[in-house]
Structure 1
Amino acid sequence: MTTTFITGANKGLGHETARRLIALGHTVILGARDPERGATAASALGARFVRIDVTDDASVAAAASDVAAHEGVIDVLINNAGVHGPHGDPGELTGPDALGVFDVNVFGVVRTTTAFLPLLRRSPDPVIINVSSGMGSLAITHDPTRIESSVIAPLYTASKAALTMLTTQYAKALKDIRVNAADPGYTATDLNAHTGPQTVTEGTDAIVHLATEPPDTPSGRFLDRTGPIPWS
């Protein structure tokens, strides 16, 4: 039985990932910041809810302690929680704007990964999946044939570029854990006011693929639903 912890899973990509992995036999622990929404989502899916605010050290530590007391181990950690932040004119951005986006999209991944590493290391096949974005790829955002090249979202794109680099560094350093990044693609979620052309099921294809791979697959990759994508 594979035990999977997903952050930001009360809606959108995280919720659909939980649904699909439960259908594939995973025991899913649904992490969310809002207790009411998280508990409701978990109950509907057949998951266990654990409150986690990835911007709060104490909340992350409490979530890891809760899982340690109940499951004792996790096999897959999916760092899904994310925010978009301001878009448009970068001349109006502020330091607090930047800190707010990076606190969830990057620093939250660091907090959660650090707290859950002891639980992952109890697994015979530990996996970390960071939900990144093609918006953090220099190649994709400079390709005029891609929708990502027309979007101005300085903080979101910068945070996702940082997250993909963080993924490669973890992959190099954590030899005992497979660490990969997934690009959901332009998917209809609250993050983009449901303007994306992909369904949430299509948007979770890469995440589910990485969460269900056999043990001998490589670490340090960046995948979308069609396969590897360029980092640079």
Structure 2
Amino acid sequence: MTTPLNTQIAFVTGGNRGLGFETARQLGKLGILPVIGTRSEKAGVEAVAKLKAEGVTAEFIVFDATKPADRKKAVDYFQAKAGRLDILVNNAGVYLEGEPGVSHPYTTSALPEKVLRDTMETNFFGPVALTQALLPLLKKATAGRIVNLASILGSLTLHSDPTSPIYEMKSLAYDTSKAALNSFTVQLAFELKGSSVKVNSAHPGWVLTEMGGPSAPMNVEDGAKTSVQLATLPADGPNGGFFHMGDALPW
């Protein structure tokens, strides 16, 4: 099924729950067609049904960014749907080091290699490979937008400042994956300067989701706002920045 030329299309990975679902919902409320990437058909069907109940038209594809075949499937899907992609939200991610801000079973020197590799595969290598695959379709959009879901925990500046609020919150695998994703944002933004495509990193906040844990102070509605803002930037909006609720964050 094709999409009307005047309808923007967004691909939100990990969009069947938490921040991804809320991001898809808010984009849908703006008249954008959210396509949810989810690891199971059951989860996709349920997410689309929930959005439909709120008056939001959405679609889904079974998708895992770490699988080359799924990345190709996504390219083929958006090529067939509209011959372009307007918005990519690299939202899917994992935290494998306890409960954020509460418990941490690993010290930096004793972090298991598997935890580091699994975290980097999902939080960094997957989004980079997916973005590279979809970039030709994003360049065909009138105003392509890429949002990388980073975290303030990826800020090397704040992690090295004893007075910062995150100084005591060290999670080597997760923090490193988000710092690496921020580096990708900077590098890709340089390549894209002068084009119609913008790429930025978003810090959603510490959000009350399954991954964020029950101690998180921020609701999911507010947590999705930064991604939505960056996904809908005007032509004079920033490129290659790191933001939370419109405020720039230190790298």
TM-score range, shorter chain: over 0.9
The aligned amino acid for 2:239 is S
- 8 Å CA contact 2:153, 2:178 repeated in 1: yes
Q: Corresponding residue for 2:229?
A: 209
RMSD between aligned residues: 1.5
Aligned position for 2:62: 51
Deviation at 1:145, TM superposition (A): 5.6
Q: Which runs of 5+ in 2 are unaligned?
A: 1-6, 52-56, 98-103
- TM (norm. structure 1) is 0.94
Task: Report how many aligned residue pairs link the two structures.
Answer: 231
Of residues 10, 28, 38 in structure 2, which corresponds to 1:32?
38
Of 59, 72, 77 in structure 2, the residue corresponding to residue 61 of structure 1 is: 72
Does the 8 Å contact 1:21/1:208 carry over to 2?
yes
2:131 corresponds to 1:113: yes
Q: Which moved more, 1:14-23 or 1:112-121?
A: 112-121
User: Superposed, which structure 2 residues align to 1:87-106 within 5 Å?
Assistant: 87=104, 88-106=106-124
Say which of 206, 220, 231 aligns to 1:186. 206
Contact 1:188 1:200 in 2 (8 A): yes
Determine if contact 1:134/1:141 at 8 Å carries over to the other structure: no
Alpha carbons 1:83, 1:105 under 8 Å: kept? yes
**5+ long unaligned stretches in structure 1:** none
CA contact (8 A) 1:222 1:229 kept: yes
Conserved? CA contact 2:145–2:232, under 8 Å: no
Once the 2 structures are TM-superposed, how far is the Cα of residue 146 of structure 1 from its aligned partner? 4.7
Cα distance in 2 for residues equivalent to 1:15 and 1:144: 35
For residue 95 of structure 1, report the CA deviation from its aligned partner: 2.2
Tell me the TM-score normalised to structure 2 length.
0.87
Distance 1:124 1:204 in 2: 24
Q: Are residue 20 (structure 1) and residue 26 (structure 2) matched?
A: yes
Q: Is the 8 A contact 1:189 1:195 kept in 2?
A: no
**Cα distance in 2 for residues equivalent to 1:123 and 1:156:** 32
Bigger Rg, structure 1 or 2: 2
How much has 1:122 moved relative to structure 2?
Answer: 1.3
